[in-house]
């Protein structure tokens, strides 16, 4: 209980501080510093027991990250553990409307996708391609939203596959087990001290797929991540 109290006493000032710095400085170096350190502080304050295996990844490589999505707690976890890759979230537009935090996301050039406007969505996809060309790693949640029942992964959406194939960079599947137990969808109280596992799978060479193969790519990626996720949950 004491750790939980400390977490919430510190969460809002820490989040506000790093968000305001990102908004005020408006450059990518400052934004990345804020994201990394905000993630580090939130993870530390949570007291969660975290095991991360990213040994399959090359710190010098630009990837398209494909990550399962369980909880709002995924965000600080990813900011901290994936910070060597200067990644950019590819996320729904509504997240960018959150006061302060959303402004910080915009300042850091994370990529919003307007799912209601096809023409605007195509321009947003091009932003992801441009980010990858500049050495940033777009990060996609292929399930499209937080999974309310993390016993298994939800069906992947084809939109994320289109972005990944257009970027033409190695695709790095990353799986997380435990964030849903730490902070379930629809809940506001973090269960401090939870056990969380993060594991990067072997990257996929996208050259074997074209945009016309996006459904096959989606099915192959889903099968690969489903199998690894089930193994992680049973270990």
Give the least confident one: 51-55, 90-94, 118-122, 190-194: 118-122
Cross-strand bridge partners of residue 90: 111, 140
Report whether 7 contacts 44 (CB < 8 A).
no
Q: What stretch of H or E contains 92?
A: strand 87-92
Rounded Cα distance between 177 and 113, Å, is: 26
Question: Rounded to two decimals, what is the model's pTM?
Answer: 0.92
Look at residue 2 in the predicted model and tell me its pLDDT: 78
How many whole angstroms separate alpha carbon 156 and alpha carbon 53? 23
**Cα–Cα distance for residue pair 54/198, rounded to 1 Å:** 8
Q: What average pLDDT does range 31-57 have in this prediction?
A: 95
- Answer whether residue 141 shows pLDDT above 80: yes
**Alpha helices, DSSP H only, in the chain?**
2-25, 28-46, 74-81, 101-107, 118-133, 158-167, 179-182, 214-234
Helix (H, G, I), strand (E, B) or coil at 49: strand
Separation of alpha carbons 116 and 224, rounded Å: 30
Domain boundaries, given as residue ranges, for the chain: 2-234
Q: Which CATH class is domain 2-234?
A: alpha beta
> Residue 196 contacts by C-beta under 8 Å, 6 or more apart in sequence?
48, 49, 50, 51, 77, 176, 177, 178, 179, 182
pLDDT tens, position by position, 88-98: 999 877 777 77
């Amino acid at each position: 209980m004491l750790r939980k109290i400390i977490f919430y006493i510190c969460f809002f000032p820490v989040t506000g501080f790093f968000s305001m710095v990102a908004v005020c400085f408006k450059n990518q170096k400052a934004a990345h510093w804020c994201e990394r350190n905000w993630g580090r502080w939130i993870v530390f304050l949570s007291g969660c027991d975290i095991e991360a295996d990213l040994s399959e990844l090359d710190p010098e490589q630009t990837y398209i990250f494909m990550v399962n999505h369980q909880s709002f707690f995924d965000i600080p976890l990813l900011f901290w553990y994936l910070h060597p890759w200067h990644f950019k979230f590819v996320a729904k537009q509504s997240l960018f409307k959150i006061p302060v935090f959303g402004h910080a996301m915009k300042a850091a050039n994370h990529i919003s996708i307007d799912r209601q406007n096809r023409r605007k969505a195509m321009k947003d996809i091009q932003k992801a391609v441009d980010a990858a060309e500049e050495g940033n790693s777009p990060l996609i949640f292929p399930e499209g939203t937080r999974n309310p029942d993390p016993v298994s992964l939800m069906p992947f959406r084809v939109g994320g596959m289109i972005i990944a194939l257009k970027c033409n960079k190695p695709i790095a599947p990353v799986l997380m087990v435990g964030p849903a137990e730490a902070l379930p969808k629809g809940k506001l109280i973090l269960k401090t001290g939870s056990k969380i596992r993060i594991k990067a799978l072997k990257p996929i060479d996208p050259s074997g797929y074209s945009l016309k193969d996006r459904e096959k790519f989606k099915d192959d990626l889903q099968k690969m991540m489903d199998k690894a996720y089930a193994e992680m949950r049973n270990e």
